[in-house]
Amino acid sequence: MTRAIVLSDVHGNAVALAAVRKAIRTEKPDLVAVAGDLVLNGPDPAGAVDLLREMEADGASIISGNTDIAVADFDYLAAFPWATDGVPDTFRAAVEWAHDALGDERVAWLRRLPAERRFFAEDGTMLLVCHGSPGSQTAGFAKELDPNVVIERASRTDARVIACGHTHVPEVRDLGWKMIVNDGSAGYVFDGDPTASWARIDIAEGEVQAEIKRTEYDVLSVANAISARGLPGDVYRAATVRTGKLVR
């Protein structure tokens, strides 16, 4: 059997990431992957990157997400292609703050991350780790997405298992021929449960089992740290962390 742990969307929440890192150690995984959106919005992007680099040194594979493009290079249209009328000033302020908080060396690390990774279980089953969907960091698998679009996006890879994030809403969707495992968010979840979510995937003899896991952390301290930062939009970011629902 091959056991994979996938988490994503840390969003600068080092406290949540530390709690998840501790929790996954008991799972004894063969693979740990982090599916992007690592630094934007939370109060401690530098701390999050330092923890991620420790995980990388221990063997974890890490990819970038769309907001990582914004923070690393200020390429707003690549990061937020739906913002055709311009990116709100609240987004720009958070991006610029995170970039400065990281410093040149951590930003250089962020820039070198790949957009996707592929892995093979012991039985030969392919697992794709991406941020949004195969071939895209910005087109995700939202729950309300048209089923035909889901199938079209899932068909862009030969992988049996697609592990992703981006929507901040955890979900396991078995299409029969493929399984989509959206781990949710380890730091900025939107499903109304203010904990950190992540996914455990077990693959053996062609069978795939996936489960969403939840880890508690000090939500109030993180929300207070965001509020204390005082950036435009931080009152909404803090409320999102505190409630587990997107507030804007």
H-assigned helices in 112-157: 147-154
In the numeric block, which tokens belong to residue 156? 């862009």
Would you say 33 and 64 are in contact if contact means Cβ atoms under 8 Å apart? no
The predicted pLDDT at position 53 comes to 98
Dihedral sign computed on CA atoms, order 20, 192, 132, 95: negative
Convert 185-196 into a string of H (helix), E (strand) and C (coil).
CCCCCCCCCCCE
**pLDDT tens digits along 124-149:** 999 999 999 999 999 999 999 999 99
Domains belonging to the chain, first-starting first, are: 2-243 (3.60.21.10)
**pLDDT tens digits along 62-108:** 999 999 999 999 999 999 999 888 889 999 999 999 999 999 999 99
Residue of 233, 199, 237 whose CA lies nearest to 23: 199
**pLDDT tens digits along 2-30:** 999 999 999 999 999 999 999 999 999 99
